[in-house]
Structure 1
Amino acid sequence: MSQQAHRKDEHFFIAEKLYQKKAQNGLDQIRLVGTNLPELALDEIDLQTTLVGQKIAAPFFINALTGGSKQTDKVNLTLARVAQKTNLPMAVGSQSIALKEPQRQAGFKALRTVNPKGMFLANLGVNHPLNNVNQALDMLDASAIELHLNVAQELVMPEGDRIFYWQDNLRQLLAQVKKPILVKEVGFGMTPQTLKILTDLGVKYVDLAGKGGTNFQRIENERRKENKLTILNDLGLSTAESLLAAKKYAADINLSLTASGGIRTSLDVVKCLVLGADNVGISGLFLHLLVQDGEDALVNYIETLKWEIRNIMAILGCKNISQLKKVPYLLSTELRNFVEQI
Structure 2
Amino acid sequence: MAAELASERKDDHVRLAAAQQKEAPRPNGWDDVRFVHHALAGVDAALVDLGVDVAGTRWALPFYVNAMTGGSASTGTINRDLAIAARETGVAIASGSLSIALDNPELMSTFRVIRDENPDGFVMANVGIERSPEDARRAVDALEADALQVHVNAMQETVMPEGSRSFSSWPASLEAIVAAVEVPVVVKEVGFGLSAETLSRLAATGVRFADVSGVGGTDFMRIENDRRSGRDYAYLAGWGQSAVECLLEAPADAPVLLASGGVRTPLDVARALALGARAVGVSGSFLSVVLDGGADALISRIREWSDHLTALHSLVGATRPEDLRRTDLIIHGRAAEFARARGIDIDSLARRAGGKDAR
Could you report, residue by residue, the CA deviation over 1:225-245 in whole angstroms, capped at 9, with x for unpaired residues?
136211223200012111112
Closer, same or farther: CA 56–302 of 1 in aligned 2, 3 Å: same
1:322 and 2:326 correspond: no
SS of 2:326's partner is coil
Query: Counterpart of 2:351?
Result: none
1:310 and 2:330 correspond: no
Q: 2:213 aligns with which of 209, 213, 218?
A: 209
CA distance in 1, matches of 2:271, 2:126: 26
SS of 1:2's partner is helix
CA distance in 2, matches of 1:171, 1:317: 41
SS of 2:257's partner is strand
CA distance in 2, matches of 1:315, 1:110: 39
Q: 1:7 aligns with which of 9, 33, 39?
A: 9
Could you report, residue by residue, the CA deviation over 1:243-273 in whole angstroms, capped at 9, with x for unpaired residues?
1121xx3x2x232111100000010000000
Contact between 1:273 and 1:325, CA under 8 Å: does it hold in 2? yes
CA distance in 2, matches of 1:235, 1:6: 26
Trace 1:229-308 onto structure 2 (pairs within 5 A): 229-246=233-250, 249=251, 251=252, 253-308=253-308
CA distance in 1, matches of 2:294, 2:25: 21
SS of 2:49's partner is coil
How far the C-alpha of 1:166 sits from its partner, in A, is 0.6
Q: 1:142 aligns with which of 140, 145, 167?
A: 145
Could you report, residue by residue, the CA deviation over 1:114-148 in whole angstroms, capped at 9, with x for unpaired residues?
21111110001011111100110111111011000
Query: Counterpart of 2:33?
Result: 30
Could you report, residue by residue, the CA deviation over 1:283-311 in whole angstroms, capped at 9, with x for unpaired residues?
00000111123322221111010111111
Contact between 2:72 and 2:107, CA under 8 Å: does it hold in 1? yes
SS of 1:182's partner is strand
Q: 1:78 aligns with which of 76, 81, 86?
A: 81
CA distance in 1, matches of 2:41, 2:191: 36
- Structure 1 window deviating more from structure 2 (95-104 vs 326-335): it is 326-335
- AA at the equivalent of 1:30: V
Q: 1:187 aligns with which of 191, 207, 211?
A: 191
- Structure 1 window deviating more from structure 2 (18-27 vs 224-233): it is 18-27
Query: Counterpart of 2:355?
Result: none
How far the C-alpha of 1:157 sits from its partner, in A, is 0.4
Trace 1:147-158 onto structure 2 (pairs within 5 A): 147-158=150-161
Q: 1:116 aligns with which of 110, 119, 127?
A: 119
CA distance in 2, matches of 1:86, 1:23: 30
- AA at the equivalent of 2:90: N
Contact between 1:25 and 1:239, CA under 8 Å: does it hold in 2? no
Q: Give every structure 1 segment of 4 or more consecutive aligned residues whose post-TM-superposition deviation is greater than 6 Å.
A: none
How far the C-alpha of 1:108 sits from its partner, in A, is 1.9
Contact between 2:115 and 2:123, CA under 8 Å: does it hold in 1? no
How far the C-alpha of 1:167 sits from its partner, in A, is 0.6
- Structure 1 window deviating more from structure 2 (292-301 vs 66-75): it is 292-301
Contact between 1:64 and 1:91, CA under 8 Å: does it hold in 2? yes
Contact between 1:35 and 1:317, CA under 8 Å: does it hold in 2? no
- Structure 1 window deviating more from structure 2 (331-340 vs 237-246): it is 331-340
1:219 and 2:223 correspond: yes
Number of residues paired by the alignment?
338
CA distance in 2, matches of 1:21, 1:84: 32
Contact between 1:47 and 1:310, CA under 8 Å: does it hold in 2? yes
- Structure 1 window deviating more from structure 2 (120-129 vs 23-32): it is 23-32
Could you report, residue by residue, the CA deviation over 1:190-235 in whole angstroms, capped at 9, with x for unpaired residues?
1111111111111110000000010000000111113621122320
Question: Is there any run of 5+ residues in structure 1 with no aligned partner, and where?
Answer: none
* TM superposition score normalised by structure 2: 0.91
Contact between 1:184 and 1:207, CA under 8 Å: does it hold in 2? yes
Contact between 1:241 and 1:338, CA under 8 Å: does it hold in 2? yes
Q: 2:174 aligns with which of 159, 164, 170?
A: 170
SS of 1:145's partner is strand
SS of 2:313's partner is helix
Question: Is there any run of 5+ residues in structure 2 with no aligned partner, and where?
Answer: 343-359
RMSD: 1.4
Closer, same or farther: CA 254–241 of 1 in aligned 2, 3 Å: closer
- AA at the equivalent of 1:287: L
How far the C-alpha of 1:312 sits from its partner, in A, is 0.7
SS of 1:135's partner is helix
Closer, same or farther: CA 138–23 of 1 in aligned 2, 3 Å: farther
CA distance in 1, matches of 2:264, 2:228: 28
SS of 1:15's partner is helix
User: Identity of paired residues, percent?
Assistant: 37
Query: Counterpart of 1:338?
Result: 338
SS of 2:126's partner is strand
CA distance in 2, matches of 1:111, 1:80: 5
CA distance in 1, matches of 2:25, 2:333: 21
Q: 1:45 aligns with which of 31, 44, 48?
A: 48
